């Protein structure tokens, strides 16, 4: 709620994707906004609202990731910020990792997608980073996604992969050279997942203890709202604290 210089009252009507205007007596005057992602529209509703000295109205939208400026008639004049989907954010993080020479030199990489049921996309190999960079834009989200991704299932599949239980995808670990190999799982997510990936991270370490103390799990988050979920996985994965992408 905010008030302009004439004591008109503006109210964020979150559930109806609009801003309502009332006079000093509380009588309804007008409203503006509707559902959508175009400028002047609200995705899942407006939240923070304030008015400046010229009676311009500024509205913050969490799900469109922006602030929009409206005049006193409710006409939008400008917006700052932008919305990206979860898969777009994940692609950006992955591309940064596989193009960082400090991380990729001498390292083998692979890729699993787990928006719904987990699926190996790129086997762990010395050319994995280059293959991931070429493949990542082709990774799509199917209609099964819903609200949560299947991190618990993904960690179970990672454990089966590294312990050589998937015929199509043999383990990349050579037991004859296990003393000089150190492997990691990098879990990249917004933290909105189902299952218990922290339990998968723990079992993965336990069942690969013969390989330099076990496979640790790093968590890279691109949303701080799920910090506690990230922490649980990082702790069970022996990396203690999550990392955050900018």
Helix (H) or strand (E) holding 98: helix 86-98
Q: How far apart are CA 8 and CA 2, in angstroms?
A: 8
pLDDT tens profile 86-133: 778 788 889 999 999 999 999 999 999 987 789 999 999 999 999 999
| Cβ atoms of residues 112 and 120 within 8 Å | yes
Confidence band for 38, pLDDT divided at 50, 70 and 90? confident
Report in angstroms the alpha-carbon separations of 91 from 131, 182, 240: 14, 25, 24
Helix (H) or strand (E) holding 91: helix 86-98
Task: Provide the CA 33 distance to its chain's centre, in angstroms.
Answer: 27
Predicted pLDDT at 61? 87
Q: Is residue 142 over pLDDT 60?
A: no
> How many of the other CB atoms lie within 10 Å of CB of 128?
20
Q: Give the residue among 84, 77, 52, 61 at the shortest CA–CA distance from 14.
A: 61
Q: How far apart are CA 17 and CA 31, in angstroms?
A: 10
Q: Is the pTM of this model over 0.85?
A: no
Helix (H) or strand (E) holding 227: helix 227-236
CA count, 13 A, side-chain hemisphere, 230: 21
Q: How far apart are CA 204 and CA 155, in angstroms?
A: 8
pLDDT tens profile 190-223: 888 889 999 999 999 999 998 888 999 999 987 6
Determine the angle formed by the axes of helices 197-207 and 151-162, rounding to 10 degrees: 10
| Cβ atoms of residues 241 and 233 within 8 Å | no
**What mean pLDDT, rounded, does the chain reach?**
89
Confidence band for 134, pLDDT divided at 50, 70 and 90? very high
Q: How far apart are CA 236 and CA 205, in angstroms?
A: 9
């Amino acid at each position: 709620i905010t008030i302009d210089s004439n004591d008109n009252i503006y109210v964020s009507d979150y559930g109806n994707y609009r801003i309502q205007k009332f006079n000093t007596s509380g009588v309804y005057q007008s409203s503006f906004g509707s559902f959508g992602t175009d400028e002047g529209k609200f995705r899942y509703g407006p939240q923070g609202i304030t008015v400046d000295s010229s009676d311009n109205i500024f509205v913050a939208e969490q799900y469109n990731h922006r602030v929009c400026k409206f005049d006193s008639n409710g006409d939008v004049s400008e917006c700052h910020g932008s919305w990206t989907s979860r898969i777009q954010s994940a692609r950006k993080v992955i591309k940064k990792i596989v193009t960082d020479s400090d991380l990729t030199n001498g390292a083998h990489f692979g890729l699993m997608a787990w928006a719904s049921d987990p699926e190996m996309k790129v086997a762990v190999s010395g050319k994995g980073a280059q293959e991931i960079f070429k493949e990542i834009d082709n990774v799509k989200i199917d209609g099964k996604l819903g609200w949560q991704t299947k991190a618990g299932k993904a960690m179970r599949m990672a454990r089966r992969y590294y312990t050589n239980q998937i015929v199509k995808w043999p383990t990349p670990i050579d037991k004859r050279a296990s003393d000089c190999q150190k492997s990691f799982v990098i879990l990249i997510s917004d933290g909105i997942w189902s299952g218990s990936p922290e339990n998968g991270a723990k079992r993965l370490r336990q069942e690969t203890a013969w390989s330099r103390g076990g496979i640790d799990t790093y968590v890279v988050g691109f949303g701080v709202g799920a910090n506690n979920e990230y922490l649980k996985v990082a702790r069970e994965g022996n990396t203690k604290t999550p990392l955050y992408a900018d």
